[in-house]
């Protein structure tokens, strides 16, 4: 339920090129992936395959966070 509020907030802050948006996106993904794993580990036999898109997106967020933050810092925002 909380993701209904913080996901759009992270997207808006990132669209406005704000550092808190990047940090919020990283925090969301850092909490979301383990929560999905824990909540669905016993529910589905091949749960890792079904969460692959989310895990790939999390990897994208983690890998690009530092370069994006550096770019924002160069802009002075």
pLDDT at 40: 72
Helix-then-strand count for the chain, H and E: 4, 0
The vertex-1 CA angle with 4 and 44, nearest 5°, equals 110
Task: Indicate whether 77 pLDDT > 90.
Answer: no
**Domain spans of the chain, in order of start:** 3-75
Of residues 64, 36, 70, 71, the one with CA closest to residue 52: 36
pLDDT at 51: 72
Yes or no: say if 24 and 32 are a contact pair by the CB < 8 Å rule: no
DSSP per residue, 36-59: HHHHHTTT-TTHHHHTHHHHHHHH
What are the tens digits of pLDDT across the range 21-69? 999 999 999 999 888 777 776 666 666 666 778 889 999 999 999 999 9
Higher pLDDT among residues 75 and 41, named by residue = 75
């Amino acid at each position: 339920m909380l993701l209904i509020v913080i996901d759009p907030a992270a997207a808006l802050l990132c669209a406005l090129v704000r550092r808190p948006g990047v940090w919020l996106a990283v925090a969301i993904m850092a909490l979301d992936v383990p929560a999905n794993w824990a909540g669905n580990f016993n529910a589905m036999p091949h749960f890792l395959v079904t969460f692959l898109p989310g895990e790939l997106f999390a990897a994208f967020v983690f890998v690009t966070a530092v370069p994006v933050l550096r770019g924002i810092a160069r802009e002075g925002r």
